[in-house]
Amino acid sequence: MDNKVKIYIAILVLIFGITLLVDKGQPKPIDWTPTYSVEDKIPFGLFVFNQEADALFKQKIERISIETPYEYLDSQYDETEGVETYKIKGTFINISEVNNIDDQSMTEILYFVSHGNNAFLSMKVFPKPLLDSLKIELKTDFMPSESISVWMANQKVSTKKYTFNTGLSDYFSKIDTLKTKVLGYQTSNKNKRQINFIEVPYKNGHIYLHTQPVAFTNYNLLKKDHYLYAENVMSYVPKGNIFWYNKSFNDKRISSSPLRYIWSQPALKSAWYLGLIGILIFMIFNAKRKQRIVPIIKPLQNLTVDFTKTIGNLYYQEGDHTNIIDKKIIYFLEKIRTDYLLDTSKLDDDFITKLHYKTGKDEKDIRELIQLINDHRNSYHGSLEDDLIRINTAIEKILH
């Protein structure tokens, strides 16, 4: 094993050990999320209320957690001609932080109540169709770090006031005083008495609206004698079967990720991030490519050029200038035939003119070269070495 890898492993082990020492003995952070779920034991869950519900109501409770209220109630409606009513009788109950009932379900609940049943809703934000149907208005005052005192309107039920640290005060700002019965109040240090619990008749049934659902959470039911307030509120629920819709608003937000259990456990979450950081560090320090130095391979030499130079030098050393001139002329004329497709059998004025147009070279230079070639062919030789130099220079002017 490479020494660097050993160092990386040692660093990771050290970091992991330090993390364990830091986290050791640390209390588990409290989750204050208002889930209002019957399965949650956190402060704002309904686990305790769910456990005590049977003893509190002392009547049959049917829990609805999969279907929507519309789906459940609609399935219980008997459409037989002459009957046209619900097969069930009792009170529909829902306790949640905010409105978790869709408009279609709320319409069905109102229809259920109109057939001589009841509904109890405890939430901070009520469905708009409900508020419009009952002609009531809800108002919310934000009061940071303030406590809310709540009590029952009927002194025969209870005269005691209970304090909740909710931070939010929700109350009914407008009600139909001719029909609506006030069942409970609340107040804070800055506000006057406000209505937080009412009973509203609706056709053949009644609807009970309560704005402090925190009264039924684990935190408040286990705090001193606050459970008595929850009992007092629920004492207004008429006797009969209870149909409790306990699907919390947060159920829709449950992650479908395969890592959701790891995210839910702080220790596993920390270990997961530590592992990712370790892998990242390892990749950074090992990003440099490890391999032998690639040798520089020189390109193959053009031996043809060397061969040509050798042959040229041989001719030059032998002094066979005539042979060299002949080969230069042959090469030049072959080049003209190949590149410009000109007939080189007759090197006359017509050829000179065509070559001038084809190459774009100076006609004087072309004429001089043709004259030299014709002179050589006609054996008008002067100094062969001088002729070679003049013909070579003239050819290079045309071809380059």
Per-residue pLDDT tens digits for 221-263: 998 899 999 999 999 999 999 999 988 654 444 555 677 677 7
Between CA 107 and CA 202 the distance in angstroms is 13
Q: Which part of the chain is CATH 3.40.50?
A: 47-253
Q: What is the pLDDT of residue 203?
A: 93
- What is the average per-residue pLDDT within 84-103? 92
Alpha helix locations (H) across the chain? Answer: 3-23, 47-57, 69-75, 103-114, 128-134, 218-221, 227-234, 260-264, 266-285, 303-318, 321-340, 349-359, 363-377, 384-399
Q: What is the pLDDT of residue 244?
A: 95
Q: What percent of the chain has pLDDT over 90?
A: 36
Question: Is the per-residue pLDDT at 47 higher than 80?
Answer: yes
Question: Is the per-residue pLDDT at 307 higher than 70?
Answer: no
Least confident of 130-139, 155-164, 196-205, 385-394: 385-394
List the beta bridge partners of residue 62: 243
- Look at 45 and 376; give whichever has higher pLDDT: 45
Between CA 196 and CA 122 the distance in angstroms is 10
- What is the average per-residue pLDDT within 194-217? 95
Question: Is the per-residue pLDDT at 55 higher than 80?
Answer: yes
What is the pLDDT confidence band of residue 374, given thresholds at 50, 70 and 90?
Answer: confident
Q: What is the pLDDT of residue 371?
A: 87
- What is the average per-residue pLDDT within 257-284? 76
Look over the chain and give the mean of its residue pLDDT values, rounded to a whole number.
83
Least confident of 192-206, 212-226, 279-293, 357-371: 279-293
Q: What is the pLDDT of residues 72-89, one digit of tens each?
A: 999 999 988 888 899 999
- What is the average per-residue pLDDT within 285-311? 67
Q: What is the pLDDT of residue 252?
A: 47
What 3-state class would DSSP assign to 135?
coil
CATH number of the domain at 47-253, out of 3.30.1490, 3.40.50, 3.80.30, 3.90.245? 3.40.50
